[in-house]
Amino acid sequence: MNSNPATNLEDKTLIDRALSGDKQAFGLIIRNTEKLVTQIVFKMINDPQERKDIAQDIYLKAYKKLAGFKFQSKLSTWIAQISYNTCFDYLRKKRLILPHTIHEEPEAGNNGWKRAENLNGIAFDAFIVQKNLTTILQAEIEKLSPVYKTLITLYHNEELSYEEIEQITGLPAGTIKNYLFRARKALQKNLLINYKKEDL
């Protein structure tokens, strides 16, 4: 689906300027997208040095492919897609993530699931918004798989739609919803196990 016409026009102006050799225009593209790119890279890659190299690689790829951008999404979503794929390829090549274990998390028993339905009387989505990914929650998010913690961050922190996340990750919307559900359940379980109610 095409993005907002006004956004498309702004993106097109920047792209045209960048392709004509305007370095400041591409610098503005980087500034407009670096927060989202950083979120993805930091959630998927643990090594600080590798993060820097991968971020540079992402923008190099984006620049080389810029002329082929089809405006079927926002430019930021397209660059986020490059970011996700670049990180995913890195993890796969390093064998830090394998196809059959990419999205798997330890499952809780029935009692764990029932206890996790509600966190201290607060619906978990509301808890995430209320806490705004603060220290306790962020620490538990970091224990999830790279894909799970990326999805949690894109949906709850960056407030992207399922459609935008689908464009970035290539995962079907139904799968994204399923993984977010599993990720929330894992977070709920870990928070209830590791923290006292008064800490939450």
Angle between helices 162-169 and 173-194 (to 10 degrees): 100
CA–CA dist 110, 116 (Å, integer): 10
99 within some domain: no
122 and 84, same structural domain? no
CA–CA dist 130, 143 (Å, integer): 20
Whole-prediction pTM value? 0.77
pLDDT band at 104 (very low <50, low <70, confident <90, very high): very low
126 and 155, same structural domain? yes
CA–CA dist 14, 24 (Å, integer): 9
103 within some domain: no
* Angle, alpha carbons 81-86-92 (nearest 5°): 125
Closest alpha carbon to 104 in 73, 147, 153, 52: 147
pLDDT in tens, 41-83: 999 999 988 999 999 999 999 999 999 999 889 999 999 999 9
CA–CA dist 101, 106 (Å, integer): 11
Q: What CATH number has the domain bearing residue 59? A: 1.10.1740.10
118 and 169, same structural domain? yes
CA–CA dist 33, 70 (Å, integer): 18
Q: Which residues are registered as beta bridge partners of 16?
A: none
pLDDT in tens, 81-102: 999 999 999 998 887 654 434 4
